[in-house]
Amino acid sequence: MSNSLVRRWLSLASCLLAAWSVPGQAAEAAYPLAVSIYEDIYADYRQFVRGRDLANINYYGGSGARRDVIEVVLLQQALQLGGFKDSLELRDEQNYLRTLRQIADGELISSGALVWYSDVLNLPDLFHITQPVIDEGEFVVGLYTSPENQKALAAKTLDDLRQLRAVSSIQWYADVATLKNLGIHHLYFTTDWIHMVRMVSAGRADFTLAPFQPSAGMKIVLDNMELIPIEGIKVAINGTRHWPVSRRHPRGQEYYEALQKGITLMKERGIIQQAYEESGFFHPEVDDWRLLNPPSKSAPQEEPATPIPSSAEGPAVTPPTN
């Protein structure tokens, strides 16, 4: 599904829903303070939080910690810092496009996970878009394969990689674009993350892109399947990552402004950098690994969909890689 088709679909859904409205207190009841979270992320989130007060969490490693989990924690901490004190409902969701549609129509106020700017930049009438939480060039990932796949494990160059079969999701536009820009010719698609792991584990694909993990050997373990990164090489997924906030939700503006303020404070205090380092996403063990797609000095920059003021101006902006 192309980005333009997604935009038309989301716009149509928003227009149809905008044809009716629920005034007053009924609107508050119709639009709960719900954010989306994948089932496997929620399981690890509960393991990581262990009933603790989120405001008191200041170490982002340990049991259950990974990028997706920590982003749900950071979201709620940023809201609290920004003055939004109400609790959120964490609602199970399995589909990236469905999540965006539910945010667009106000059923969800936001996503627990960050999204790529390229997925929402042309939809400013549907979403408030936070300032970037992950900046350009920071989303560096591994090429994960089965421990038994000797051909994949031996890959050291782009030419080696182009002989391999990759698997991703058609909904993960940034991942797919990165793989295509790398010149990967054998690219398969499946519906969700667990199926990607199954394909790689079964040898039906050679590798998939995934953030480096805080576990021993940076391995991914899911349903008794194990994937490990191809040692010595890594890839940067181009783009910036943001939280989308519903413009249709009656508390969307309040939520957005608090989130903006909180993100700014967390950046100033170094909390976001600390959280990504301690959760293993910014992984020190891969600092010396070869980046297969270093940034081009002449690479075009995305134009912002909405103004993103500086901190002085005040508020404005899975599966494992999405």
Query: Would you state the structure tokens that stand for residue 108, as one six-digit string?
Result: 């969800």
The Cα 92–Cα 45 span in angstroms is: 12
Q: What is the pLDDT of residue 29?
A: 58
What pLDDT digit, counting tens, does each position of 59-115 carry? 999 999 999 999 999 999 999 999 999 999 999 987 888 999 999 999 999 999 999
The one-letter amino acid code at 153 reads L
Is residue 179 within 8 A of residue 209, CB to CB? The reply is yes
Number of CB atoms found within 10 A of residue 277's CB: 16
The Cα 124–Cα 263 span in angstroms is: 20
pTM: 0.78
Strands 140-145 and 233-236: antiparallel
Q: What percent of the chain has pLDDT over 90?
A: 71
Helix, strand, coil share (%) of the chain residues, nearest 5: 40, 15, 45
Task: Calculate ∠ Cα 153-284-214, nearest 5°.
Answer: 70
pLDDT at 1 over 80: no
What pLDDT digit, counting tens, does each position of 234-260 carry? 999 989 999 999 999 999 999 999 999
Residue 207's SS3 state is: strand
The Cα 191–Cα 133 span in angstroms is: 27
Band (319; pLDDT cuts 50, 70, 90) = very low
Query: Would you state the structure tokens that stand for residue 225, as one six-digit string?
Result: 């399947």
Question: In sequence order, what are the residues at sequence separation of 6 or more whose Cβ sits closer than 8 angstroms to the Cβ of residue 147?
Answer: 153, 226, 227, 228
pLDDT at 226 over 60: yes
The one-letter amino acid code at 216 reads A
